[in-house]
Amino acid sequence: MKTSNFKKTYTKKGKDYSQEEIDGAIKNVIWEQFRTKNLPFCQGEVLKAAIDQCNIPISKIQKMFLHGVIKETHGFYALDIDYKNGKAYVYIADAGNKACIVASDFFENKTETDLA
């Protein structure tokens, strides 16, 4: 599923990044299966903090992206999370000395009554 076509919710914490920079980084996301072992240290620590601070159940995370770049020098990561009522995408920028969620998406599952 291509995330570049989704409407993003931009965070105020991500104000150091323009919407164009965030969209450009999201366009380059290449998903891989989520794992908790053998992660690069810095990326793993940023993901762990985001998961903890946002109360994301690890069992719900399906995919991740660890090797992106935003602003040519900052890391960019993403999580794909399946909840009972829909799918969430969380996009994280890492400036080295701080990291923050810069955007997210949530798509509710369609029910049979929605499709009628």
What pLDDT, on the 0 to 100 scale, is given for residue 14?
87
Where in the sequence is the domain holding 102, given as residue range(s)? 9-108
Give 78 or 14, the one with higher predicted confidence: 78
Answer yes or no: is 68 within a domain: yes
The CA-based diameter of the chain, rounded to the nearest angstrom, is 50
The 8-class DSSP code of residue 97 comes to S
pTM, two decimal places: 0.86
**Domains: count for the chain:** 1
Q: What is the C-alpha to C-alpha distance for residues 6 and 80, in angstroms, rounded to an integer?
A: 13
What SS3 state is found at 63? strand
Answer yes or no: is 46 within a domain: yes
Answer yes or no: is 37 within a domain: yes
H or E stretch at 85: none
Answer yes or no: is 2 within a domain: no
Answer yes or no: is 115 within a domain: no
In this prediction, residues 76-96 reach a mean pLDDT of 95
H or E stretch at 49: helix 41-53
Q: What is the C-alpha to C-alpha distance for residues 108 and 87, in angstroms, rounded to an integer?
A: 7
Answer yes or no: is 113 within a domain: no
